[in-house]
Amino acid sequence: MFATTVIITALATLTLGGVIKRDDNYQEVIIPQDENFDQFTLSWKAECDNLFFASEGGVYTNATFVEPASTPADALVYCGWYTERPTVVYDNTVECANALGVQFA
């Protein structure tokens, strides 16, 4: 019976659009002129970690995302964390960008 429930749950998840991706709502930002992409990635992840550790208690999974954008001086970013049961997502991309003084493209 348990195996049947697991299979039905998995099929329902796939039918509803698959597993929730926490970084689906990434945003494009302009990398500061005094940083290259690698430096910016380290800065972004460090600041997101600072926000994560300063958040209220609970069991969360940190989900940080930084990738190059199609524009050379830009990056696609996301900063957030989530819980699984119940699924609650805390998107702090704007807060992270503001803390670093980063502008949105």
105 residues of the chain, pLDDT tens digit each: 544 433 443 333 334 444 455 556 899 999 999 999 999 999 999 999 999 888 865 677 888 889 999 999 999 999 988 887 777 888 999 999 999 999 999
Domain membership of residue 55 (yes or no) is: yes
Is 6 contained in some domain?
no
Tell me how crowded residue 103 is: count the other CB atoms within 10 A of its CB: 11
Q: What is the pLDDT of residue 8?
A: 40
- C-alpha pair distances (Å), 35 with each of 10, 49, 72, 84, 102: 43, 19, 13, 35, 11
Asked if the structure places residue 4 within a domain, the reply is: no
Residue 81 lies in a domain: yes
51 inside domain: yes
13 in any annotated domain: no
Note whether residue 48 is domain-resident: yes
pTM (two decimals): 0.74
Using DSSP, state whether 27 is helix, strand or coil: strand
Which structural domain range is residue 29 located in? Answer: 20-104
Number of domains in the chain: 1
In a domain? residue 46: yes
